[in-house]
């Protein structure tokens, strides 16, 4: 019986891990679909570059829609701009946001897009 209980725990762990993966993948797929259908391009500025507790770096950027400021986040690898600025803080990039949900956005980091997760 003890062997079956251990196998059951292992299966529960694997199923839980698969569910987490599906939720993350599904959320990203929904965002990509929404931005593909309803995306509008504006510009925004990178305001922060920081290390977070999960071991990634985060870029924070601000953009304005209908006179209201929004903040977006993007997980990235560590990088510096060509001028040596960490995470391109202060630089302006294109931002695609949803016309249905202005909080939903993604940043186009141009030559640094390969640093995005």
Contact 31, 106 (CB under 8 A): yes
HSE (side-chain half, CA atoms, 13 Å) at 4: 1
Overall domain count for the chain? 1
Contact 88, 112 (CB under 8 A): yes
Q: Which domain holds residue 66?
A: 2-115
Q: For each of the chain's 117 residues, which pLDDT tens digit applies?
A: 557 777 778 788 878 767 666 666 556 667 788 899 999 999 999 999 999 988 889 999 999 999 999 999 999 999 999 999 999 999 999 999 999 999 999 999 999 999 998
**Sequential DSSP letters for 38-104:** HEEEEEEEEEEEEE-TTS-EEEEEEEEETTEEEEEEEEE---B-TTS-BTTTT-EEEEEEESS-TT-
pTM: 0.76
């Amino acid at each position: 019986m003890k062997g079956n209980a251990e196998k059951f725990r292992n299966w529960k762990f694997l199923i839980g891990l698969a569910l987490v993966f599906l939720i993350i993948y599904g959320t990203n797929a929904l965002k990509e679909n929404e931005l593909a259908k309803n995306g509008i391009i504006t510009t925004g500025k990178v305001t922060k570059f920081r290390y977070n507790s999960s071991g990634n770096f985060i870029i924070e950027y601000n953009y304005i829609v209908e006179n209201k400021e929004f903040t977006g986040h993007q997980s990235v690898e560590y990088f510096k701009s060509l001028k040596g600025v960490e995470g391109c803080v202060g630089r302006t990039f294109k931002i695609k946001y949803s016309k249905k949900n202005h909080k939903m956005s993604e940043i186009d980091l141009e030559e640094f897009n390969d640093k995005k997760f």
